[in-house]
A and B are shown apart, each in its own frame.
Chain A
Amino acid sequence: MSLYSFSLLGRFFVVHEETGSFFEVDQPVFEKVQQGQCPDELTAVLPEQPTLEWLRNQLEQRPRQLSALCLNVTHTCNMACKYCFAQQGNYGGQQAVMDFAVAKDAVDLLMKSSSSWADIDFFGGEPLIAWDTVKQTLAYATERAASKNKKVRFSLTTNGLLLTPDKLDVLDCYNVNLTLSLDGPKVVHDKFRVDRAGNGTFDKVMEAFKEVERRRQGKNYYVRGTFTHDTLNFSESVAFLVDQGFKTISMEPVTGEGLPWSIKWTDLPIIEQEYERLANLYLMRAKEGNDKRFYFYHFELNPMNPPSVLRRFTGCGAGVEYLAVDPNGDIFPCHQFDNVLPYKMGNVGQATVKPQQPDFVKAHALNKKHCQECWARALCGGGCHADSFFTTGNIWGQNQLSCEIVRMRLRYALAVNAVLQDFS
């Protein structure tokens, strides 16, 4: 059994590494844990610990069904964000838009799965460029899911330029969860999120995004921002977005090697300060009551009904439960592997499609060397395959900087959830 202890926000905490279970303790217990002991009062509340054999067997042998598809309905974009992993939308290839016939085949593939659940995500490029395909696919998938007695859930990521009220009417009708790309105040957003002519887009997208919040009142959308080496003050960006009325927010770092705007090791102390500021803002607003509260994606750990240990180790499901389809119908393990040809898994038009990417089944935290001793292994699930691949050339590799950021963020998320329990 391994215990990890840390102190944050003036409190003391312990993580049970094998299960990711989390405890607040007093200073005497904390000090004993730091000395390598496990006091009786802590032992009494520790959960059942899985054996590595049981967990590995569950992860690699149990049937796992395809339940989520990302439809990259365009390989083109009406923006040219400098940090875009999809190389301004075309993934390093030709510009393309998915025909409905391809989307229909993709939906049929998903509906063949025995999963009782189907997630369909529209992505790109900018998916609203392929609006006709999106609209037809929403109708078709809804009908197919009903006939197969499956529950279907839709999501769509947009930069907002084409998000008009009439499109929003349709997206509302199908209860499409929206991810709205917005980095913060104009000066931050316009630094990277520019149109094809290089002009800032803040003024053009804000009106549409505010309309989403007006209609949805904090539900069924996320404002998703990105922070970079050049825009590290993300707590101020979150505060700005909250002041603008947005209630569900996510803010992510640009990692990766060799880009001027990617996060550097020397940025970590600033990022730590930013998470501390964000945690304090989050808690202050939560204390003021539900009408003042906002939700930060990484802090929402749902302590009353958390995912199981097995679910956590399963990770994001890429290459197994989750696949991506490009505009030509080619299938990849996830949207970030789009056009990475060694990982192509077939085409939705083919009679037989490779159902799983075997390497992705095995590349979990129990098998990754760098995860073996990490205290956060049961919480992060082994990290992002694409992050590993694009920084080390191998899905088994480690982006050490990403791991540091994830551990830092987890410490704040855990501490915030402990403090939140005082308010309820």
Chain B
Amino acid sequence: MVRVIIKNELQKEEDFKGACQTACKTSATVSNVTFEPEQ
């Protein structure tokens, strides 16, 4: 059995915009690049 959970296209016309900084503010350096979807 194989179930696709996330399949990533190479590029998209409408990708998420902007940088992501929610995680890397406040405390000392953190290594994070998660992409925040538009709310």
Hey, which bits of chain A sit against chain B, CB under 8 A?
13-14, 19-26, 29, 39, 41-42, 44-45, 47-48, 50, 58, 67-68, 70, 81, 83-85, 117, 119, 121, 123, 153, 155, 157, 177, 179, 181, 219-220, 222, 224, 226, 228, 250, 252-256, 259, 262, 297-298, 300-303, 305-312, 315-318, 321-322, 334-336, 378, 380-384, 386-387, 390-391, 399, 402-403, 405-406, 413-414, 417-418, 421
Q: Is A26 a contact of B1 with CB atoms below 8 Å?
A: yes
Q: What's the nearest-Cβ distance from chain B to residue A382, in Å?
A: 7
* Given A22-B6, A380-B33, A414-B5: A316 and B28 interface contact (C-beta under 8 Å): no
* Given A22-B5, A29-B2, A67-B19: A252 and B33 interface contact (C-beta under 8 Å): no
Q: Is A255 a contact of B25 with CB atoms below 8 Å?
A: no
Within the assembled complex, what's the spacing in Å between the Cα atoms of A255 and B24?
11
Contact with A along B4-35 (1 / 0, CB 8 A): 11111111100111111111111111111111
How extensive is the interface on chain B, given as a class? 35 or more
Chain A residues, CB < 8 A from B1: 24-26, 29, 41
Q: Which of B8, B10, B24, B39 has the most CB of A within 10 A?
A: B8
Q: Is B4 a contact of A336 with CB atoms below 8 Å?
A: no
Q: What's the nearest-Cβ distance from chain B to residue A185, in Å?
A: 17
Q: Is A117 a contact of B25 with CB atoms below 8 Å?
A: no
Q: Is B26 a contact of A23 with CB atoms below 8 Å?
A: no
Q: Is B18 a contact of A153 with CB atoms below 8 Å?
A: yes
Q: What's the nearest-Cβ distance from chain A to residue B38, in Å?
A: 8
* Given A83-B28, A220-B39, A224-B26: A24 and B5 interface contact (C-beta under 8 Å): yes
Nearest opposing residue in chain B for A401, CB measure: B31
Within the assembled complex, what's the spacing in Å between the Cα atoms of A413 and B6?
12
